[in-house]
Amino acid sequence: MKKQKALIIGGSAGSLDVLLKVLPDIKPDFDFSIIIVIHRKQGADSLLTDLLSHRTKLKVKEADEKEKILAGNVYVAPSDYHLLIEKDFTFSLDYSEKINYSRPSIDVTFQSAADAYGQNLACLLLSGSNADGVNGLIAAKKNGGTTLVQNPETAQVTYMPEQAILRANVSAILTIDEMADYINSLSLNN
């Protein structure tokens, strides 16, 4: 397996419950960054970051403009901004039009990360009600990245993972119970 420098987790309706189950089981000594892009209502700025911080021992923070992306941190995309990954491994926040009715768009983050990280990227798409993230998974796979999707049988809303399985030739399909072990295994492959 390739050495991962970043894991990006994207999701929409039903994905918060998955994160609350999976993040507490991730070992705090992971040696890559985790970036979370969740569709959420405008104005709920720090609520998601606070909720995730209180449920895990991991360092969780909201991503900031031009911030250097560091291993061992969990970053959360701010509400109402697209989160882009630059080739110098910093964040850019963008307020351009919504994509797939969403800002932040999972596709935008997956696609920009695929360009920056190439084969050292893993992307995980969770539960959701539209196809945001599918094109990003295709881009990640094309650039040599690892593409993962939640097993639709374990998703509250099956459309997003089903579309990924149909269209993106994903590397693996994971149940919620398999996700933490898979994520932890990414650290072992130095």
Rounded to whole angstroms, the Cα distance separating 130 from 140 reads: 19
Among residues 12, 15, 33, 79, the one annotated as catalytic is 12
Q: What are phi and psi of 154, to 5 degrees?
A: -105, 5
For the chain, give me the number of helices (H) and strands (E)?
A: 6, 9
Active site annotation includes 12: yes
Strands 73-76 and 121-125: what pairing? unpaired
Catalytic residue among 15, 33, 39, 82: 39
Instruction: Identify the three-state secondary structure at position 29.
Output: coil
132 is catalytic: yes
**Are 112 and 93 a contacting pair, CB within 8 Å?**
no
Residues labelled catalytic: 12, 39, 132
